[in-house]
Chains A and B, each alone.
Chain A
Amino acid sequence: MRSLRFALPGAAALLFALGLLFGADRVAGGRTATDTTHKTGTLALPARTDNAWELQPIRLPDLDGTQRALADWSGKVLMLNFWASWCAPCQYEIPEFVAYQDEYAAQGLQIIGVGLDEARRLKNVARTLGINYPVMVIEEQAGASLMRQWGNDKGIVPYTVIIDRDGHIRYIHRGRMDKYAFEEYVKPLLGS
């Protein structure tokens, strides 16, 4: 039988296009284009306010045992980051937060960690990852209750709340906060 040869890009291009539908991403072994790592949240706090200073004040010991209050840092752009030592996504985002704190402190950024764990373990994480911002310590059960007040009724960590200089909560991020979310929601609040 005579061989039929299809000139390209016509028919073969169509075949390739079909090939795309058959999951060429498996060949690459990579993520699919529709993957999204952003897990964002809207402002839905039980206290029916979007002002952090109208919520029950956070007063907790830091890693050295010194009592701290969130209000100590009022007037700055705050990234309030709830995390735990056993949480892998927290470990991925913390080095990025360290870099943000270094780069944007002069523009008014203040990251505050709230660690839901034993102080000893949290201190080890701070040492190993070189955390350069304050971390407040809370026991896991009490931490879950605190997070509920900040709109996190499922107790997800990491969980990051962005508070503007005037106390208004501008954005809440569930899960690992990537560079895109920082650029989109935090940077515009910082001074130049």
Chain B
Amino acid sequence: MPPVFIRRYFGGCGQLLYASPLAGPVKGTGWMNMRNVFLLGAVLLLVCGGAGAASGDAADVSLVDVGPYRVTVSDLKSAISASPFATQFVSMDANDQATLRGDLLRRLVISRLLRLEAEAQSLDRTPDFLKEIENFRRGLLYRGYMDRMRERIALPDEELQEIRASTEGNADAFEALRATRVAQRYRAVRRATLESLIKARHVVVYADRIDQKTAPDTVLMEGDGLRITLRDLSEGLEVPQHPNPEWIREQLFKLGELMLVSDAAAAAGLDVEDRVERYRDERLPAILLERKEAEWVPDDDTLKSYFSSHPEIGHVAERRHIGMLVTPSYAQANAMRKRILNGESLFRLAGLYSVDPYGRAHNGDMGWVREGSGMPEIEQAIAGLQDNQISNIVKTPKGYNIVTIIERKPGEDRPLAGVRDKVRQTILNEKLSAYVHGLEGRYKVSWNLAELPPADKAAGQ
């Protein structure tokens, strides 16, 4: 797919949209490991996106085909909206947005692969799943019907004028009174609709059968094409051992209303199949993963065995509270170091002269840093440093650094009990990565994306 094609479908404003995840899964890692997100951005694609850019047919453009399933622009936008980064996304730099899009796209592809495999294992045809889908569909139909009913309620102009007059220009009061009147009308319309459905379906309630000894198969409500037993009420709910008649009544009314309204919605042609399909997209991978997780980590012995061969998982590195001053030249660093060794405070000088913005703003206090997580040059320079000792001058990309360790928290090796979740997650990540790799070999994945000129060229546009 040529770049111009992608630009057209994303609004044509020529900005970076994706860091492409065209490469396969990163070995030895899992798809939930955010660190790997940033390993995926090898190729940048020149497209423009954003909350309002893709619309109409563009939203339906397939970015990746996974067997018979597609990952569309619309799917990707939904994934961004549902991600923990949804709010930050719009204010990110273009390259960061591209990286995030690339990662989410990759996750969607994995999700489709898992769905395909779940279907191959007939997990979409189990009685439990079929029932779950049916319940979900009914819930959507009910909500759609009620929403439509609510949206059609409009107050007549005379009534709005009367509200305006009585609230004397107070916008808050006007709005509150208007909303109350709409709510009153909605309740009346809803009640009338239900009564009409009950009448049309000849619904009968067997109220006298409701007591603490009611048997599960007892029919409590029936009508044309409608039959509800006590067992139907308890599906998916915590059922009291000796159900309180009030509880039964409450559930019966809820389920009865749900069935009647959702049937009416279906008869009125309300279409919810797109959303049911999206639900399958989410649930089937989750169901498959639940099974695989039980298979990959069946018991505590699995954790023990893995931990004994990977004891480094329990290692917590030493943490150091670092002070640092950065200068732009060696000569300045040398002069500063002499002043510090002669008794001046590194922190006062950092607050006055450091060229590192964070260090300058915090008077050289760089906070707690885990051993091994700093810049390699700094790590090396402070390896043998005593507390409060001043380091030699260290050259880094930031400038010429003078470092000291204010205090430290020693590292430790935790037992399995302290890192059980971490061990479990590590095993799952390893297994999942290999599993997904296998699925990619089994099902066809076609990326409808094109490689573009180097990132630096694209970024300049």
Same complex:
yes
Residue ranges of A at the interface with B (Cβ–Cβ < 8 Å): 1, 3-9, 11-13, 15-20, 22, 24, 26-30, 33-36, 38, 40-42, 85-88, 91, 95, 98, 117, 120-122, 124-125, 127-130, 171-172, 185
Q: Are B52 and A33 in contact (CB under 8 A)?
A: no
Query: How many contacts A-B (CB < 8 Å)?
Result: 149
Q: Are B202 and A19 in contact (CB under 8 A)?
A: no
Q: Are B205 and A95 in contact (CB under 8 A)?
A: no
**B180 within 8 A of partner (CB):** yes
**B227 within 8 A of partner (CB):** no
Which of B49, B87, B205, B256 is most buried by chain A, counting CB atoms within 10 A of its CB? B205
Q: Are A6 and B198 in contact (CB under 8 A)?
A: no
Q: Are A6 and B139 in contact (CB under 8 A)?
A: no
Q: What residues of chain B lie closer than 8 Å to A29, measured between beta carbons? A: 139, 143
Q: Are B91 and A85 in contact (CB under 8 A)?
A: yes
Q: Are B183 and A34 in contact (CB under 8 A)?
A: yes
Q: Are A36 and B175 in contact (CB under 8 A)?
A: yes
Q: What residues of chain A lie closer than 8 Å to B174, measured between beta carbons? A: 40
Chain B residues with a Cβ closer than 8 Å to the other chain, count: 60
Q: Are A22 and B198 in contact (CB under 8 A)?
A: no
Query: What's the least CB distance linking B190 to chain A, in Å?
Result: 7
Contact flag A34-B179 (CB < 8 Å), given A6-B205, A12-B203, A16-B194 = yes
Q: What residues of chain B lie closer than 8 Å to A6, measured between beta carbons? A: 204-205, 207
**B409 within 8 A of partner (CB):** no
Contacts A/B (CB < 8 Å), 20 sampled = A6-B204, A9-B199, A12-B203, A12-B204, A13-B195, A15-B207, A20-B187, A27-B142, A27-B258, A34-B179, A38-B175, A38-B179, A40-B174, A88-B86, A122-B91, A124-B90, A124-B93, A124-B94, A129-B50, A129-B52
Q: Are B208 and A8 in contact (CB under 8 A)?
A: no
Contact among A9, A41, A185 for B198, CB-based, below 8 A = A9
Q: Which 5 pairs show the lowest CB-CB distances between chains A and B?
A: A19-B253, A85-B91, A40-B171, A128-B50, A121-B91
**B29 within 8 A of partner (CB):** no
Which B residues from 173 to 231 make CB contacts under 8 A with A? 174-176, 179-180, 182-183, 186-187, 190-191, 194-195, 198-199, 202-209
Query: What's the least CB distance linking A137 to chain B, in Å?
Result: 13
Q: Are B94 and A127 in contact (CB under 8 A)?
A: yes
Contact flag A30-B143 (CB < 8 Å), given A22-B250, A88-B87 = yes
Q: Are B205 and A3 in contact (CB under 8 A)?
A: no
Contact flag A12-B258 (CB < 8 Å), given A86-B88, A98-B52, A124-B92 = no
Q: Are B179 and A41 in contact (CB under 8 A)?
A: no
| Bound form: Cα–Cα A191–B90 in Å | 33
Q: Are A128 and B257 in contact (CB under 8 A)?
A: no
Contact among A5, A38, A117, A128 for B89, CB-based, below 8 A = A128
* Contacts A9-B199, A33-B150 supplied; 9 other A-B pairs, CB < 8 Å: A3-B209, A4-B206, A13-B198, A18-B249, A30-B147, A35-B179, A98-B52, A120-B93, A130-B50
Contact among B15, B88, B202, B205 for A127, CB-based, below 8 A = B15
**B170 within 8 A of partner (CB):** yes
| Bound form: Cα–Cα A122–B92 in Å | 9
Q: Are A86 and B87 in contact (CB under 8 A)?
A: yes
Q: What residues of chain B lie closer than 8 Å to A8, measured between beta carbons? A: 198-199, 202-205
| Bound form: Cα–Cα A63–B22 in Å | 35
Query: What's the least CB distance linking B148 to chain A, in Å?
Result: 11
| Bound form: Cα–Cα A11–B187 in Å | 19
